[in-house]
Chain A
């Protein structure tokens, strides 16, 4: 018993001794967002799963928005929100923009557009951030564009070659513009997802007009025994 108590005390001491380091925490949080792509793997023919697919994402976003409203109104202290940036103290936190972006994409965009855009936000954004921290600004644009372009390319690999090239270039450009041009009221975590998605939606609707073949579903819902 004494040993357990001592171990607990030591652990508490160790936890309390760790300094504030939100940098990698934010990066990990971004990358973790890719787990939400599991949404597309859930089957569409099981009632209770369809119910959860319809309601869990908006409920999570409403929860995040409610927390943010309470924080901005001063009902909850900003101290309880780990990893907030200084400029987010009096502004909506970027995690809310990220969540709204993902919700909009999975609800209103075809998965062929939504999946690479979510990948750009989850991996493109933190990688671009790291490049920005370590290299010259010009590398941010070039490498950031190539990374985002890669996500669009692998997602549209089964479309017509020309369509894949056009989508990769426009998607990559949209993502890098969305990432590098942030506004006080609109976060880059939202823009990096939605700007390329809107541009690609225009291509999506006009592709059949030009006789180009669109790719089929890139993630096929699972048939696991739920």
Chain B
């Protein structure tokens, strides 16, 4: 592995660190979806309904935020689930 890609690791603090990650996970995953949805709602209520094209960028941005995040959220959640399963199996 590339040296630049290595992360700081400390066994003794691992569980504390992982707990921090899990606590942050809902915020990191849910916030972009809320923000993206607000952008789309703004476009719908002020642009689409009234036929004003000035808000078109907002729907594009909303979709980019939602799908861009989804692209990384899925492997993130999968990696957490996979690792937890593997570790439980190892312990058993």
A→B interface (CB under 8 Å) = 14-25, 27-32, 34-35, 37-38, 41, 77-89, 115, 119, 122-123, 126, 133, 154-155, 157, 216, 218-220, 222-223
Contacts and interface: CB of A to CB of B under 8 A. Distances in A.
Interface of B: 3-10, 12-22, 25, 27-29, 31-32, 35, 38-39, 42, 46, 54-55, 57-58, 60-61, 64-65, 68-69, 71-73, 75-76, 79-80, 83-84, 86-88, 91
Nearest to B70: A31
B42 to A, nearest CB: 6
Majority SS of interface residues in chain A?
Answer: helix
The 4 residue pairs across chains A and B that have the minimum distance between CB atoms: A24-B76, A17-B87, A79-B13, A16-B15
Contact of A27 (B13, B76, B80): B76
A219 B7 CA distance: 37
B61 A37 contact: yes
Given A220-B55, A222-B42, A17 B91 contact: yes
Given A20-B9, A37-B61, A154-B60, A32 B20 contact: no
B4 A87 contact: yes
A18 B6 contact: no
Nearest to A154: B60
Given A24-B79, A31-B72, A86 B38 contact: no
Given A20-B18, A82-B17, A220 B7 contact: no
Given A15-B15, A38-B38, A82 B4 contact: no
B29 A82 contact: no
Contacts of B15: 15-16
Majority SS of interface residues in chain B?
Answer: helix
Contact of B6 (A16, A25, A38, A85): A85
A111 B20 CA distance: 33
A79 B17 contact: yes
B15 to A, nearest CB: 4
Contact of B84 (A17, A86, A216, A219): A17
Given A18-B83, A20-B17, A86 B72 contact: no
Nearest to A33: B32
Contact of A123 (B9, B10, B64, B88): B64
Contact of A35 (B3, B8, B65): B65
Given A17-B91, A37-B61, A220-B58, A32 B32 contact: yes
Q: Which of A15, A32, A126 has most chain B Cβ within 10 Å?
A: A32
6 contacts: A20-B17, A82-B17, A85-B4, A86-B8, A87-B3, A220-B58
B83 A21 contact: yes
A220 B55 CA distance: 7
A176 to B, nearest CB: 18
Given A15-B22, A31-B71, A34-B65, 13 more contacts: A17-B88, A18-B84, A20-B9, A27-B72, A28-B29, A37-B39, A82-B17, A86-B4, A86-B8, A87-B4, A119-B64, A126-B72, A222-B42
